[in-house]
Structure 1
Amino acid sequence: MKSTHFLFLLGLLAACNSQPKDKEKETEAKAEQPASHEPTVNCYQYATATDTVRLTLVHVGDNINGMLIYQLKEKDRNVGSINGTMNGDILLADYTFKSEGTQSTRQVAFKKAGNAFIEGYGESAEVNGVEKFKNVDSIVFSSSMKLEEIPCK
């Protein structure tokens, strides 16, 4: 009888000791899985009494998508989407927009400056129907229209 109780207790101890190892393996497996890329959304705006530029960025991994709206005095309103990437502090993206009923695509560049973005300008040329910067390294970020971070609506 004593040997039966001893074997039972030994089996019980062995079973108890194996559970933490399983949990350790489970924890290690979870740690090895790549982190999911939850989208992060940030909104930026430049606004005066007559002009508004609004930029909404959705970060998913290395990709950035979003919306860009230009409402400038005495110019046509442009509303469209952007798709690009961050290279250091520079956002380089294709902007597909509608203006006066016509859809167009052009490359845009914004430089991150603290909690704001400043749009860059440079010489461009049409490549396969898209206006692209001729030399990304020569883009000038001196615009007075600083898009400050705002709460997203």
Structure 2
Amino acid sequence: MKDSIYAVMLGAIALLSACDGGKTEQPAPNLPPTGKMETNNAQTRCFSLMEGKDLTAVQLQQDGNAISGYFIWEPFEKDGAHGVLNGEINDGLIKASHTYMIEGSIQMEETYFKLEGDQLLQGTGDLVNDNGILVVKDPTSLQFTAPMDETDCANLQQSISNAEQIAAAIEEQSGNNGLDLGMLGENLVGDWQSTQDPKARLSINESAYSNIYDGKPLDSSPYEVLASCPETCGQAIAEMPCLQLKGQDAMCYSILNADGETLELSLVSGTGNTNQYQRINAAAQQP
């Protein structure tokens, strides 16, 4: 279980850099309460699995079909991951969006759980990327293994507190300004004409960012859309979404505007100049 979780979490970063998969609307994280409780129709339950000294745990709050909570992965003496869950449950099957922070980056993915009595099983399967959000390629092929047993939430108090701190950081970076990374990624996809140089164009698809000049491709790189530019960009910019290019010529752009029709990018650690583009409508493009 710990190896599969580690592979999924770190593999998510590589997958986001290289390809795209299914779109999930991602609201700002809802922070569920700690402790085991039941009020009216809402109930909070906790589940955990210990493998050696490695902890995997989930806190779920259910209100009707609505599900919210935390996912916790704390391997011993290694960096783990904590995330926020939001979704719904039908006939014991939970489908949720999972927003988490790992290695300083915010990631979003679709995840499935199966609730069987006092056990919770997480589904594992291939993921694909659509506009910065990972989704399950084929939900019917998911394997539900390594059950987590129900436990008193008080037993996970410190881990839940850790998850709350990460959730607050996620909310600060992506929730307070209403930023929807999925929608932002969708607005980036397309062909763009520079308003400053008639020969310069951009082409952005679900997996690659490509520069074109005078009709000739110059370069193409996988990319990732982040809530903010990290220090690996050469300069951390916390209050602006980031387009981070990967590969040999890795670089980062602050996204100043991406409303679907206009695009404004500023190279991080560059001159500070803003590159401005206008969307090229399909009907206006040359065959």
The alignment's TM-score, normalised by the length of structure 1, stands at 0.69
User: Whole-Å Cα distance in 2 between the matches of residues 130 and 74 of structure 1?
Assistant: 29
**Post-superposition, which runs of at least 4 consecutive aligned residues in structure 1 deviate over 3 A?**
73-76
Q: Which has the larger radius of gyration?
A: 1
C-alpha separation in 2, matches of 1:75 and 1:67? 19
Give the Cα separation in 2 of the matches to 1:74 and 1:107.
27
- What's the CA shift for 1:87? 2.4
How many residues align? The count is: 116
Query: Aligned-pair distance for 1:48?
Result: 2.8
**What do you get for the CA RMSD once the two structures are aligned?**
1.9
Instruction: Name the residue aligned to 2:88.
Output: 85
Shift of 1:39: 1.7
Letter matched to residue 63 of structure 1: A
Deviations for 1:97-119, whole angstroms, at most 9, x for unmatched residues?
A: 11111110111111122210111
Once the two structures are aligned, what percentage of the paired residues are identical? 26
Shift of 1:76: 3.3
How far, CA to CA, are the matches of 1:63 and 1:114 in structure 2?
Answer: 18
Corresponding residue of 2:74: 71
SS at match of 1:76: coil
What residue in structure 1 maps to residue 55 of structure 2? 52
Q: Deviations over 1:28-57 (max 9, x none)?
A: xxxxxxxx9532101100113321011000
Aligned residue in 2 for 1:118: 121
Aligned residue for 1:137, secondary structure, equals helix
Where structure 1 has 5 or more consecutive residues not aligned to the other structure, the ranges are: 1-35
Please give the alpha-carbon distance, in whole angstroms, between the structure 2 residues aligned to 1:125 and 1:86.
Answer: 22
SS at match of 2:153: coil
Task: Give the 5 Å matches for 1:3-152.
Answer: 38-73=41-76, 76-141=79-144, 143=145, 145-152=146-153
Gaps of 5+ in 2: 1-38, 155-287
Alpha-carbon separation, structure 2, partners of 1:88 and 1:134: 21
CA shift in 2, pair 1:87/1:74, >3 Å? farther
2:143 alignment partner, SS class: coil
